[in-house]
Amino acid sequence: MRKGLLILTIIVLITGGIIAISGAGGDMPPADADKLWSYMTTDNPYTGWGFWPGHEGIYPGKSPHGAYLKVYANTVALKAAHEGKPMPDGAIIVKENYGKDKKTLMAVTPMYRIKGYNPEGGDWYWAKYGADGSVLKAGKVKGCIDCHTVQKTKDWIFTPAPMLQDY
């Protein structure tokens, strides 16, 4: 009886551990533009995330992004930024790109850290969506990588959080 209970307990613990491990990050989208858009707009809407530290609300932008920008970050990215650490797997930073009138959304440009996705590009998955969610560019986008390469020591991020350091 005791041996049977011990075996049952071990099976329950192992099964629970496997479920917990497989579920860790399981709700994050794969490196797929349509699935990322769905995740960011339906499953876990980015407009409900926090603003990137030090950049609350709309502020002046630069080319190639909009004349004005809003930058949101998911919980994973915000936690790392507040702790002054590199962005971990699952971090998503979303930039809304606005026209000169500060009202017209021109594009949405996320960067999404996926461990092992693209080591040469900082393991960032890049995307550019039209205001309607249409995929304009996605994946290992050469223009994004080429531009952000100069920020390698800052985790490929141009929009500095006050607490981020060189890595």
pLDDT in tens, 44-91: 999 999 999 989 999 999 889 999 999 999 999 999 999 989 999 999
Q: Other C-beta atoms within 10 Å of 73: how many?
A: 26
Predicted TM-score (pTM) of the model is 0.81
Q: Taking 60 as the threshold, does the pLDDT of residue 20 lie above it?
A: no
- Structure tokens belonging to residue 7: 């075996």
**By three-state DSSP, how is residue 135 classified?**
strand
User: Residue 134: pLDDT band by 50, 70, 90 thresholds?
Assistant: very high
85/63 Cα distance (integer angstroms): 27
CA atoms of 151 and 111, how far apart (whole Å): 14
pLDDT of the residue at 41? 97
Confidence of residue 3 (pLDDT cuts 50, 70, 90): low
Percent of the chain with pLDDT over 90: 68
Beta strands 92-98 and 135-139, pairing class: unpaired
Q: Examine the pLDDT at 35 and tell me if it is beyond 80.
A: yes
Q: Sign (positive/negative) of CA torsion 111, 114, 118, 123? A: positive
Q: Does residue 68 or residue 15 have the better pLDDT?
A: 68
Whether the per-residue pLDDT at 22 is higher than 50: the answer is no
CATH number of this structure's domain 28-154: 3.50.70.20
